[in-house]
Amino acid sequence: KDLTGSITNPDVKLNLGGEFIKESTATTFLRQRGYGWLLEVEDDDPEDNKPLLEELDIDLKDIYYKIRCVLMPMPSLGFNRQVVRDNPDFWGPLAVVLFFSMISLYGQFKVVSWIITIWIFGSLTIFLLARVLGGEVAYGQVLGVIGYSLLPLIVIAPVLLVVGSFEVVSTLIKLFGVFWAAYSAASLLVGEEFKTKKPLLIYPIFLLYIYFLSLYTGV
């Protein structure tokens, strides 16, 4: 027998918030064939709506606190200075090194790459010495401490511009800046585990900041 008749599309409706919306023929066809996943709409991921600073893992309050810890290294001031070593970051030290680079040699920007190179490889040298001497410190920690501790040299930079014609005063300020920077770094990196070997690590840290200062003054 001949079979005759017609097939009509099912009247499929979606319930969206209490309102029923009729699906189109194409939508119904895809769902019947198992391709309904093509029509799914992903919810907005709150992770994609983070602020730029949070995406880059930049905490300005944390950086500001670490700057104060370096500029005021005296224990009596009550700062938890170990946070500079125990919670290292990359963007804060990089900003300090870049700022020091830009003011070095009175605006000759060709030294920027060289100062960054000295920061990276100088920190690597200090890290290797610390590990050889038995210190439990990571390279990221050394990199952060050495970078942040350039702040005293940045502080004395404008003073040197004013007293540059007075050789004795200028020399004293340079020595003060280097001792300040070296003390800030050494007090964070040189722990009790070094015991009698402390001078073996403090001395190269002191020399590293002398070299940083020489890049600024053009010596």
Give pLDDT, residue 16. 47
Question: For the whole model, what pTM was predicted?
Answer: 0.67
Give pLDDT, residue 20. 44
The conformational region for residue 137 under phi > 0 = left, psi -120 to 50 = alpha, else beta, is beta
Give pLDDT, residue 114. 83
Give pLDDT, residue 208. 92
Give pLDDT, residue 19. 47
* Cα dist from 193 to 75, 130, 135, 159, 206, whole Å: 19, 10, 6, 37, 20
3-state class of 14 per DSSP?
strand
Give pLDDT, residue 14. 46
Give pLDDT, residue 12. 47
- Please list the helix, strand and coil fractions of the chain in percent, rounded to the nearest 5, in that order: 70, 5, 30
Nearest to 189 by CA among 204, 178, 174: 204
Give pLDDT, residue 44. 53
Give pLDDT, residue 121. 92
10-residue averages of pLDDT along the chain (219 residues) = 55 48 61 62 56 69 84 75 80 84 67 84 90 83 90 86 81 90 86 70 89 75
